[in-house]
Amino acid sequence: MPAHPGPQRPDDSARRRGRLRPAAAAGSGIHKPLPPGLFNIRGTNAETVPATLRHTGYHTPNDRFFVRNHTTTPRLSAANWHLTVWGDGLRGAPVRFSYAQLLALPAVTRAACLECAGNGRSYFTSQQGDDVTGTPWTLGAVGAARWRGARLADVLRLAGIRPEAVDVMPRGLDDPYVDDGVDYGRVRRPMPAAKALDDVILAYEMNGEPLPYDHGYPVRVIAPSWVGVASTKWVGDIEVSDRPLSSPWTTEFYRLFGPDHPPGGAPMTVLPVRSAWELDAGTALSARVTHRLTGRSWSGGGGVARVDVSTDGGVRWSAARLLDEGCGDGWVRWETEWRPGAKGPAELLARATDTAGRTQPDRSVPNTQGYFFDAVVRCPVTVV
């Protein structure tokens, strides 16, 4: 495990060398370079091009990891940063932790996927004809990283969390989110104290490096297997409450609304099962040549147990070869071979089943904001 390099700014050296940021990043509010071949820029967000993961290992390199920002990436200093834990769910007064104090706590490392609940949203429209709002992600709003940090449970216990505490709400230090003239305040979302005390990390490292600015430097929450919005970046304070808390991120956004959901909407916590081919839609593949095709599957509800693939639009299916053990918070890489005969258009499908027995359906239950698209995605290719 590499030693933590300390509270330096993550890419001082690049700035010193005067490296210019590619024009593609201009206006997005994202700090890191966003080369067009690696990212699709979507407003204040950047989507990893899924096909490019074919050339990476298990973990998504920091410079290829998707970014989902409500506003812009703040460039905070670890030396000036502190975390305040406060609220009536504590035994006493607010408690402050500096960056150095957090680093001095026992460290845990966890390989976990981080995924936006809206990943795959564009397929609601293109595959199902559903009318949804929000960023039209394909399948690149997901990545897996090695997160290192302190257990949130340790911090909450040091702060004096009471057994009666029911909810814990981290809040980010990025600018307040304003939409359509409404100021919703800073990004914040409560989670049950039981989750906070279970597996949540206050991460300060990503893949062995200090968190990059865009991914929450100096410290972010990582809530494994839950919707990405639960993983608050640039965390500045955490409210601990002995009553249930709410925020617009649980009552309005990141909530399932629509005819197939309860009248007040349904809450969102654990991520669904999904799969992606590491192939651009529309890729040309030669006929009568054996191709090694690869992809990844993941699930918030347990490891991936099997992946079935179809190269004829879903008529016949066969099991893909899994290249990783399906672990709860991570993903599984897989491969299959295909020797297409006839020239012309074809569709590749991948369908995963997790260890909890959940299988990707043919059709996702629609919701107005287009979350949790878990249906099998049809990847069009052309045999030439």
Return the residue nearest ligand MTE (CB atom): 172
DSSP state of 336: E
Of positions 49, 51, 90, 116, contacts ligand MTE by CB under 6 A: 116
CB-nearer residue toward ligand MTE: 155 or 293: 155
Residues 222-261 that bind ligand MTE (CB under 6 A): 228-229, 231-234
Of positions 215, 274, 296, 358, contacts ligand MTE by CB under 6 A: 215
CB-nearer residue toward ligand MTE: 174 or 308: 174
Number of residues that bind ligand MTE (CB under 6 A): 18
CB-nearer residue toward ligand MTE: 103 or 221: 221
**The one-letter amino acid at 170:** P
Question: Which residue from 4, 73, 77, 78 is spatially nearest to 33, judged by alpha carbons?
Answer: 73
Measured CA to CA, the distance from residue 221 to residue 172 in angstroms comes to 10
CB-nearer residue toward ligand MTE: 228 or 302: 228
**The one-letter amino acid at 238:** I
Contact 142, 119 (CB under 8 A): yes
CB-nearer residue toward ligand MTE: 187 or 383: 187
- Calculate ∠ Cα 372-269-56, nearest 5°: 60
Query: Buried b / exposed e across 110-124, counting CB within 10 Å, b at 16+?
Result: bbbbbbbbbbbbbbb
Residues 283-342 that bind ligand MTE (CB under 6 A): none
CB of 148 to ligand MTE, least distance (A): 15
Task: Tell me the HSE value of 271 on the side-chain side, using a 13 A CA sphere.
Answer: 34
Per rule CB under 6 A, is residue 203 in the interface with ligand MTE? no
CB of 88 to ligand MTE, least distance (A): 23
* Residue 134 Rama label (left phi>0; alpha psi -120 to 50; beta): left
Residues 50-109 that bind ligand MTE (CB under 6 A): 65-70
CB of 288 to ligand MTE, least distance (A): 41
CB-nearer residue toward ligand MTE: 132 or 229: 229
Give the 3-state secondary structure of residue 75.
coil
Measured CA to CA, the distance from residue 2 to residue 12 in angstroms comes to 19
Length of the chain: 384
CB-nearer residue toward ligand MTE: 145 or 307: 145
Q: How far is residue 56 from each of residues 7, 64, 155, 274, measured CA to CA in Å?
A: 28, 9, 34, 19
Task: State in Å, rounded, how far the first CA of the chain is from the last one.
Answer: 47
CB-nearer residue toward ligand MTE: 195 or 233: 233
Measured CA to CA, the distance from residue 100 to residue 102 in angstroms comes to 5
Residues 159-178 that bind ligand MTE (CB under 6 A): 172, 174
For residue 287 the two structure tokens come to: 């006929």
Question: Which residue from 170, 142, 144 is spatially nearest to 156, judged by alpha carbons?
Answer: 170
CB-nearer residue toward ligand MTE: 38 or 67: 67
CB of 50 to ligand MTE, least distance (A): 14
Annotate each residue in 128-157 with x if it binds ligand MTE (CB under 6 A) or - if it does not, as one string: ------------------------------
CB of 28 to ligand MTE, least distance (A): 12
Can you give the binding site for ligand MTE, defined by CB under 6 A?
Answer: 65-70, 114, 116, 172, 174, 187, 215, 228-229, 231-234
